[in-house]
Amino acid sequence: MSDTPAGSLYVVATPIGNLDDLSPRAARVLGEVALIAAEDTRHSGRLLRHLGLSRPMLSLHEHNEAARVDTLDARLAAGEDVALISDAGTPLISDPGFVLVRELRARGRRIVPLPGPCALVAALSAAGLPTDRFLFQGFLPARGGPRRARLEALAAREETLVFYESPHRVRDTLADLETVLGERRVVLARELTKAFETFLDGSARALLARMQADPDQARGEFVVMVAGAARRDDAEQSAVEADALLAALLAEGVGVKQVAAVAARVLGGVKKEWYARAQALKDGH
C-alpha cells in the first residue's frame, strides 16, 4: 500500500461575469492543482488564460460525470490535488458536480469548498425581498404544463421563491407566474456582475410589458425571485398545501383514485374524502 497522502478535491467558485470577482485563494489553488475538472474546458480555458495559468484540464459535465468518478478518484489516490469548476459560479448549484462529490465523499476523499460567486445569493442580496427564508428551485420545467404545475405546488409557500431562467423562456415563465400567482411582486436579476446588469421589479404583468417595450430586457441569464405567499393560520395553510399537492398530481396525469391513495398515505385521513376533494379539483369546483 502506498504511503503517499491522498489528494484533495477543491470545489472552486468562479466568476459569474466579472473576472475580478475570483478570490485570490481560488486563483492560487487553480494554479497549484494537478488537474482541473471543468464543465466546458474551452470556456474555462479563457479564465485560465486571463489568470496567466496553464493547467491540465478534463471535461466533466452532466453527460459524463458518473464515468469520470473512477478517473478522478485514482488521481486523488495518487496524491494529486484536483479542482472542480463549472462554467460560472459555484459548482453543484444547478451545475454538474453532485455525483462526483457524493461518490468521492463516500470513498473517504477530502472535499474542500472554496466559496465565491453564486448567482442566486448575489441576486437575493440586492433584490429587496425577504432573505431570512427562501426556496431555491433551480430551473423550472421547460414545458408550460409542468411549469405551471410546479408553480401551483409552490403557490402556498411563504418563503421567497428563487429560480434560474434562460432568455428564450423568461417571457413564458413570467406569463405563467401571472396566471398562477397573480399580482405577486417579482424581481428579475439580469446579467449579474456584467456590463448590462439590471434589476427589474414589479408584477409579472408589468415586467412582461417592460420586455414588450424594450426587447433588450429579455436578453441574458436571469435569476427570478418571487415574493412568498401571505401568512395563513395553520388550518387554512394545511388545506391550501393539501390542495396544491392534489392539483400538482392531477396536472402530472395521475388518476383521481391514485391521487386519493397518495394523499391518504402522505397526509392521513380517509381515502374516500380525498377522492371527492381531488375529483372536485379536477372538475374545477
CATH architecture of 120-226: 2-Layer Sandwich (3.30)
Specify the CATH class of 8-117 in words.
alpha beta
> Which residue type does 266 have?
V
> Could you report the per-residue pLDDT of 122-170, keeping only the tens digit for each?
999 999 999 999 999 999 999 999 999 999 999 999 999 999 999 999 9
Q: Give CA–CA dist 58/36, Å, rounded.
A: 6
pLDDT of amino acid 238? 79
When pLDDT is averaged across residues 232-255 and rounded to a whole number, the result is 83
Task: Encode pLDDT of 14-63 as tens digits.
Answer: 999 999 999 999 999 999 999 999 999 999 999 999 999 999 999 999 99
One DSSP character per residue, 105-117 reads HHTT-EEEEE---
- 29 within 8 A of 10, measured Cβ to Cβ: yes
- Listed in sequence order, the residues at least 6 apart from 178 whose beta carbon sits closer than 8 Å to its beta carbon are 203, 204, 205, 208
> Per-residue pLDDT averaged across 201-219, rounded?
95
Q: Among residues 210, 213, 200, 208, which one has the least CA distance to residue 169? A: 208
Residue 1 has pLDDT above 50, yes or no: no
pLDDT higher than threshold 60 for residue 265: yes
Q: Which helix (H) or strand (E) holds 134?
A: strand 134-139
Q: Using the predicted structure, report yes or no on whether residue 268 has a pLDDT greater than 90.
A: no
Residue 232 near residue 260 (C-beta atoms within 8 A): no
Q: What is the pLDDT of residues 21-35, one digit of tens each?
A: 999 999 999 999 999
State the pTM of this model. 0.78
